A = this chain, B = another copy of it.
Amino acid sequence: MRIGRVIGNVWATRKEEGLQGLKLLIVQPIHVDGKPVNSSIVAADRIGAGIGDNVLVTSGGSSRFIMRDNPIPIDAVIIGIIDSLEIERGE
């Protein structure tokens, strides 16, 4: 998973089937030190993430398993809101 920060919202009325009602957030991937890395992406959110939250984002084919019996064509989803993280670079 990648670490990112929620920075915005996207609205799209015309959508593929199965995506109605799914909240879409703009997420800026960040390094563990908080610095942005790469371009922002759009991720589905079902757990109530908000602007400024640091989140874990799952990308690719596993994303659709947030709805196991009803796979939908998405490739990024917020799977957790980060409480804290700890880095220990020593051996």
Contact = CB atoms under 8 A, between A and B. Distances in A.
A42 B57 CA distance: 9
Interface string A38-67: 011111001110011000101111111110
Contact of A26 (B63, B74, B85): B85
A16 B77 contact: yes
* Interface size classification for chain A: 35 or more
Contact of A16 (B26, B80, B83, B89): B80
B83 A79 contact: no
Interface of A: 1-3, 7-19, 24, 26, 29, 31-32, 37, 39-43, 46-48, 51-52, 56, 58-66, 68, 71-91
